[in-house]
Chain A
Amino acid sequence: MSKNNSNIRVVVTGLGVVAPNGVGLPAFSNALKKGISGIRFFPQLKTLHFSCQIGGMPQIAEALKKNYFTELQLKNFNSSGILYGVMAGLDAWKHAGLGINKGDVDFDSGTVFGVGTLGVDKFRESIHFIDAGKTRRLGSTTVQQTMSSGVSAYLGGILGLGNIVTSNSSACSTGTEAIIMAYERIKSGKAKRILAGSTSDGGPYVWAGFDALRILPYNYNENPTCASQPMSVNACGFVPGCGAGALVLETLESAQKRDATIYAEIIGTAVNSGGQRNGGSMTAPNAIAVQQCIREALLDAEIQGTAIDAINGHLTATSKDVEEIASWSKALKRKGRGFPFINSLKGMVGHCLSASGSIEAVATVLQLHKQFLFPNINCEKIHPEILKIIDSECIPKQQKNVPLNIIAKASFGFGDVNACIIFKKKN
């Protein structure tokens, strides 16, 4: 792949997050540092005979919704993905010091806000009407609440965005891919500022397919906060989650001109696919492609593997965690004590599916900006195969305050797709 020769630099100037363990940046930051779990038991999942009756879902008071939506928008509103995405997106916009534009359209600003499935609950509600022969009773907002681009359409309208307004989708790499798409568009000179992020609906109708796949933990229904155990010998499947994360990306020039706080710079990115070959499949990654994706991101950033201070992994708490560590080790050419620090947010929030990449990117940028590593929770006993590759010191179990200059973030998804971003502290 050829290197991106544009001299436009892209920085992160705003963050927003709606996560199972914290709604809003202050609550999330606090939970992140303390290692607070957002995993809960859901009686509804028990009633519905799910094997895994736990999950991660942001807790949002009704009154809070009115800070983001009009009364009219909330009428017959039933799309959790749009709720999370709009909240995280508007929070990021305000965090960047940008106002909500009530006047003209802003052709320099856009949004790339990814989704997995959107508006599942609204769709279910509609299906009941349709099957009862009452299609005309659906009301006017069924389309906008269930179309894949619904979340970017809401955000674009509220903010008056006039550049790209779209929603990408690449399973669990969606969030990381959204940031990369935004980065590339800004880098190419086609936009000055993009609200990049992703969202995921949650609840039984999103999580059921994963439960049926038998890849979720089923022995922790009475002990939910201990269930998600990335890198642990006891890792027994991912805990399903949902929520949204958002980052405002803009040119360094634009950020400096308006004297914005710069939380990080993106210095390199890569996306690829393993083509569902060489061990890769619909549900499993081709390790060669994973390594190539990481290497390409390094190349794009013009750095060596030795420059990476820490990794925020995909690490979902399945047997694949070992493979991921091996891939990082090979791609970075580092092992044992020489391996960077590595952590996984999924121990605290579970796997937020299409939202995972963006929520984890927010955590990554927070770590760079505040110079700390969040703890890996539920990883008392590291998987022995992982310890054959890297030293246990590389997996902090407590919050660790260390100087961090560069953190690599990767996400992988069904369809054998990979995405990797290199974030750098802004000096």
Chain B
Amino acid sequence: MTEKEIYDKLETIINTYLPEDVSKNAIQADSDLTKELNINSSHLVDIVLDVEDTFNIALTNEDMEKLHTVKDAIFIIQSKLI
């Protein structure tokens, strides 16, 4: 799976959890999910579950601790897909 393919799927997942006043266009590779995109921190666990289902991978608690930005997510997903 190319990085672009991963990004597109990830963007769809993240979009679901954006607050009403944040548009999909705000999602950038460097965006911090909670601090910049204002996603409720409790929804990070939902994003992880959606990522697991979409990419058929499993994330550990340690993976979750490293997950802050979109780029972090892509890195974690890529490492699991190898």
Contact = CB atoms under 8 A, between A and B. Distances in A.
**Main SS class of interface, B:** helix
A71 B20 CA distance: 10
A49 interface: no
Nearest to B20: A70
A140 B42 contact: yes
Chain A interface size, as a band, is 10 to 19
B68 interface: no
A72 B17 CA distance: 7
A140 B20 contact: no
A139 B16 CA distance: 14
Contact of A137 (B17, B20, B43, B49): B49
A257 interface: no
Contact of B45 (A71, A72, A139): A139
**Main SS class of interface, A:** loop
18 contacts: A70-B20, A71-B16, A72-B16, A72-B43, A75-B16, A75-B46, A76-B46, A136-B45, A139-B45, A139-B46, A139-B49, A140-B40, A140-B42, A140-B43, A140-B44, A140-B45, A140-B46, A141-B42
A382 to B, nearest CB: 55
Interface string B24-54: 0000000000000000101111100100000
A65 to B, nearest CB: 17
Interface string B46-69: 100100000000000000000000
A143 B17 CA distance: 18
Nearest to A76: B46
A105 B50 CA distance: 33
Given A136-B45, A139-B49, 10 more contacts: A70-B20, A72-B16, A72-B17, A72-B43, A75-B16, A139-B46, A140-B42, A140-B44, A140-B45, A140-B46
Contacts of A137: 49
Interface in B1-24: 16-17, 20
B49 to A, nearest CB: 6
A71 B19 CA distance: 11
Interface in A33-91: 70-72, 75-76
Contacts of B46: 75-76, 139-140
Contacts of B40: 140
A137 B46 CA distance: 9
A136 B49 CA distance: 9
Contacts of A140: 40, 42-46
Contacts of A71: 16
**Which 4 residue pairs spanning A and B have beta carbons closest together?**
A140-B42, A140-B45, A140-B46, A139-B46
Nearest to B61: A136
